[in-house]
Amino acid sequence: MHDAPRALQSPQQNFGFPPPATRLFLFRIAARAPIDYVTRMKAEDVTMLDNFPRGTIVIEELEIGMTRHLNKVVTDEDIEMFAKVSTDRNPVHLDDDYAQDTIFEGRIAHGMLTAGLISAVIGEQLPGHGTVYLGQSLKFLAPVRPGDLVRAEVEVMEIDHAKRRVKLDTRCLVAGKPVLKGEATVLAPSGKFD
Protein backbone atom coordinates (compact mmCIF):
# COMPACT_ATOMS: atom_id res chain seq x y z
CA MET A 1 0.00 0.00 0.00
CA HIS A 2 2.81 2.44 0.75
CA ASP A 3 3.77 2.30 -2.93
CA ALA A 4 0.59 4.04 -4.00
CA PRO A 5 1.50 7.67 -3.26
CA ARG A 6 4.86 7.26 -5.09
CA ALA A 7 3.06 5.74 -8.04
CA LEU A 8 0.63 8.64 -8.15
CA GLN A 9 3.36 11.25 -7.98
CA SER A 10 5.77 9.85 -10.50
CA PRO A 11 4.95 8.98 -14.11
CA GLN A 12 7.79 6.47 -14.07
CA GLN A 13 5.95 4.45 -11.43
CA ASN A 14 2.99 2.19 -12.18
CA PHE A 15 0.74 -0.37 -10.58
CA GLY A 16 2.21 -3.35 -12.33
CA PHE A 17 4.45 -4.32 -9.48
CA PRO A 18 2.38 -4.65 -6.29
CA PRO A 19 1.23 -8.23 -5.62
CA PRO A 20 -2.18 -9.21 -7.02
CA ALA A 21 -3.97 -8.89 -3.68
CA THR A 22 -2.74 -5.31 -3.29
CA ARG A 23 -3.68 -4.49 -6.87
CA LEU A 24 -7.15 -5.85 -6.27
CA PHE A 25 -7.59 -3.86 -3.10
CA LEU A 26 -6.36 -0.64 -4.70
CA PHE A 27 -8.57 -1.10 -7.73
CA ARG A 28 -11.68 -1.81 -5.67
CA ILE A 29 -11.16 1.43 -3.81
CA ALA A 30 -10.25 3.31 -6.97
CA ALA A 31 -13.09 2.14 -9.13
CA ARG A 32 -15.59 1.28 -6.40
CA ALA A 33 -16.24 -1.66 -8.65
CA PRO A 34 -17.73 -4.98 -7.62
CA ILE A 35 -15.22 -7.79 -7.33
CA ASP A 36 -16.22 -9.51 -10.60
CA TYR A 37 -15.08 -6.52 -12.68
CA VAL A 38 -11.81 -6.44 -10.87
CA THR A 39 -10.97 -10.07 -11.52
CA ARG A 40 -11.25 -9.54 -15.27
CA MET A 41 -8.02 -7.53 -15.28
CA LYS A 42 -4.97 -9.20 -16.71
CA ALA A 43 -1.36 -8.57 -15.83
CA GLU A 44 -0.69 -6.63 -19.05
CA ASP A 45 -3.57 -4.28 -18.28
CA VAL A 46 -1.81 -2.86 -15.25
CA THR A 47 1.66 -2.26 -16.63
CA MET A 48 0.91 1.20 -18.02
CA LEU A 49 1.76 4.61 -16.64
CA ASP A 50 -1.76 5.27 -15.39
CA ASN A 51 -2.99 6.55 -12.07
CA PHE A 52 -5.27 3.51 -11.88
CA PRO A 53 -5.16 -0.01 -13.29
CA ARG A 54 -7.03 -0.62 -16.52
CA GLY A 55 -10.40 -2.36 -16.59
CA THR A 56 -14.05 -1.29 -16.40
CA ILE A 57 -16.05 1.16 -14.34
CA VAL A 58 -19.72 0.44 -15.06
CA ILE A 59 -22.18 3.33 -15.37
CA GLU A 60 -23.71 2.42 -12.00
CA GLU A 61 -20.35 3.23 -10.40
CA LEU A 62 -19.59 6.43 -12.34
CA GLU A 63 -19.82 9.78 -10.58
CA ILE A 64 -19.65 13.36 -11.83
CA GLY A 65 -16.10 14.62 -11.40
CA MET A 66 -14.52 11.16 -11.43
CA THR A 67 -11.15 11.52 -13.19
CA ARG A 68 -8.57 9.18 -14.66
CA HIS A 69 -5.34 9.89 -16.49
CA LEU A 70 -2.29 8.34 -18.07
CA ASN A 71 1.19 9.69 -18.64
CA LYS A 72 3.23 8.79 -21.67
CA VAL A 73 6.41 10.07 -23.28
CA VAL A 74 5.83 10.48 -27.03
CA THR A 75 8.91 9.04 -28.72
CA ASP A 76 10.35 9.21 -32.22
CA GLU A 77 9.37 5.56 -32.57
CA ASP A 78 5.76 6.43 -31.71
CA ILE A 79 5.73 9.15 -34.38
CA GLU A 80 7.24 6.79 -36.95
CA MET A 81 4.67 4.07 -36.11
CA PHE A 82 1.79 6.55 -36.26
CA ALA A 83 3.06 7.72 -39.66
CA LYS A 84 2.98 4.13 -40.88
CA VAL A 85 -0.50 3.41 -39.54
CA SER A 86 -2.08 6.68 -40.70
CA THR A 87 0.03 7.06 -43.89
CA ASP A 88 0.59 10.65 -42.71
CA ARG A 89 4.24 11.25 -43.57
CA ASN A 90 3.97 15.06 -43.52
CA PRO A 91 7.60 16.16 -43.11
CA VAL A 92 6.73 18.35 -40.12
CA HIS A 93 6.52 15.05 -38.21
CA LEU A 94 9.47 13.23 -39.76
CA ASP A 95 12.01 15.59 -41.33
CA ASP A 96 14.16 17.64 -38.94
CA ASP A 97 15.45 20.06 -41.58
CA TYR A 98 12.00 20.75 -43.03
CA ALA A 99 10.41 21.09 -39.58
CA GLN A 100 13.05 23.60 -38.41
CA ASP A 101 11.86 26.03 -41.08
CA THR A 102 8.19 25.82 -40.07
CA ILE A 103 6.25 27.83 -37.49
CA PHE A 104 6.95 24.97 -35.03
CA GLU A 105 10.75 25.24 -35.38
CA GLY A 106 11.17 21.50 -35.02
CA ARG A 107 9.39 18.20 -35.48
CA ILE A 108 6.01 17.66 -33.81
CA ALA A 109 3.85 14.63 -33.14
CA HIS A 110 0.69 14.03 -35.16
CA GLY A 111 -2.28 15.64 -33.37
CA MET A 112 -4.23 12.39 -33.64
CA LEU A 113 -1.41 10.55 -31.89
CA THR A 114 -1.97 12.74 -28.83
CA ALA A 115 -5.73 12.29 -29.24
CA GLY A 116 -5.09 8.53 -29.15
CA LEU A 117 -3.93 8.90 -25.53
CA ILE A 118 -7.33 10.36 -24.61
CA SER A 119 -9.08 7.44 -26.25
CA ALA A 120 -6.78 5.10 -24.33
CA VAL A 121 -7.91 6.56 -20.99
CA ILE A 122 -11.55 6.26 -22.09
CA GLY A 123 -11.23 2.75 -23.50
CA GLU A 124 -9.06 1.35 -20.74
CA GLN A 125 -9.98 3.26 -17.58
CA LEU A 126 -13.00 5.59 -17.67
CA PRO A 127 -15.41 3.97 -18.30
CA GLY A 128 -12.92 1.39 -19.68
CA HIS A 129 -13.49 -1.95 -21.37
CA GLY A 130 -16.99 -2.25 -22.81
CA THR A 131 -17.27 1.46 -23.60
CA VAL A 132 -18.63 2.41 -27.04
CA TYR A 133 -17.00 5.59 -28.36
CA LEU A 134 -19.68 7.79 -29.93
CA GLY A 135 -17.96 11.11 -30.47
CA GLN A 136 -15.03 13.36 -29.67
CA SER A 137 -14.22 17.02 -30.20
CA LEU A 138 -10.60 18.10 -30.31
CA LYS A 139 -8.91 21.50 -30.13
CA PHE A 140 -5.19 21.39 -30.78
CA LEU A 141 -3.75 24.15 -28.59
CA ALA A 142 0.00 23.62 -28.77
CA PRO A 143 2.40 21.19 -30.43
CA VAL A 144 3.64 18.00 -28.78
CA ARG A 145 7.31 17.34 -29.55
CA PRO A 146 9.27 14.09 -29.52
CA GLY A 147 10.35 13.43 -25.93
CA ASP A 148 7.44 15.34 -24.38
CA LEU A 149 5.69 13.65 -21.45
CA VAL A 150 1.97 13.94 -22.18
CA ARG A 151 -0.61 13.64 -19.43
CA ALA A 152 -4.00 12.67 -20.84
CA GLU A 153 -6.91 13.34 -18.46
CA VAL A 154 -10.56 12.35 -18.66
CA GLU A 155 -13.28 13.60 -16.30
CA VAL A 156 -16.94 12.65 -16.03
CA MET A 157 -19.16 15.68 -16.78
CA GLU A 158 -22.68 14.29 -17.38
CA ILE A 159 -24.32 10.90 -16.90
CA ASP A 160 -27.56 9.96 -18.66
CA HIS A 161 -28.51 6.68 -17.01
CA ALA A 162 -31.57 6.10 -19.21
CA LYS A 163 -29.53 6.24 -22.41
CA ARG A 164 -26.31 4.98 -20.80
CA ARG A 165 -24.64 8.07 -22.32
CA VAL A 166 -21.77 9.79 -20.57
CA LYS A 167 -20.11 13.09 -21.44
CA LEU A 168 -16.45 13.39 -20.59
CA ASP A 169 -14.14 16.38 -20.45
CA THR A 170 -10.89 15.41 -22.13
CA ARG A 171 -7.55 17.18 -22.11
CA CYS A 172 -3.86 16.61 -22.64
CA LEU A 173 -1.09 18.55 -20.92
CA VAL A 174 2.66 18.85 -21.34
CA ALA A 175 4.48 20.22 -18.30
CA GLY A 176 1.15 21.49 -16.96
CA LYS A 177 0.30 23.36 -20.17
CA PRO A 178 -2.79 22.32 -22.15
CA VAL A 179 -1.90 21.01 -25.62
CA LEU A 180 -5.26 19.45 -26.51
CA LYS A 181 -8.77 19.77 -25.12
CA GLY A 182 -12.22 18.57 -26.05
CA GLU A 183 -15.24 16.53 -25.07
CA ALA A 184 -16.11 12.90 -25.57
CA THR A 185 -19.49 11.18 -25.68
CA VAL A 186 -19.61 7.47 -24.91
CA LEU A 187 -22.04 4.66 -24.27
CA ALA A 188 -20.91 3.30 -20.92
CA PRO A 189 -20.94 -0.38 -19.97
CA SER A 190 -23.56 -1.40 -17.44
CA GLY A 191 -23.42 -4.03 -14.73
CA LYS A 192 -26.98 -5.00 -15.67
CA PHE A 193 -25.97 -6.35 -19.06
CA ASP A 194 -22.86 -8.23 -18.02
Residues that bind its own copies (CB under 8 A): 44-45, 48-49, 54, 70, 72, 78, 81-82, 84-92, 102-103, 110-113, 115-117, 119-120, 123-124, 128-130, 132-140
In the complex, minimum distance from the CB of residue 92 to its own copies, in angstroms, rounded to a whole number: 7
The beta strands (E) that lie in 5-119 are given as: 67-73
> Quick one: 13 or 102, whose CB is closer to its own copies?
102
What is the closest distance, in whole angstroms, from the C-beta atom of residue 119 to its own copies in the complex? 5
Residue 99: exposure state from Cβ atoms within 10 A (0-12, 13-18, ≥19): buried
Q: Which is nearer to its own copies, 18 or 111 (CB)?
A: 111
Query: Which of 180, 95, 169, 116 has its CA nearest to residue 144?
Result: 180
Sheet order of strands, 177-187 included: 67-73, 149-160, 165-174, 177-187
Q: Kindly tell me which of 18 and 143 has the beta carbon lying closer to its own copies.
A: 143
Q: Are 133 and 119 in contact (CB under 8 A)?
A: yes
Nearest to its own copies of 62, 131 (CB atom): 131
Q: CB-hemisphere CA count at 13 Å for 172?
A: 30
Residue pair 59/159 in contact by the 8 Å Cβ criterion:
yes
**Between 64 and 85, whose beta carbon lies closer to its own copies?**
85
Question: Whole-number minimum distance, CB 1 to its own copies, in Å?
Answer: 25
How near is the Cβ of 93 to its own copies at its closest, in Å? 8
Min CB(2)–its own copies separation in Å: 26
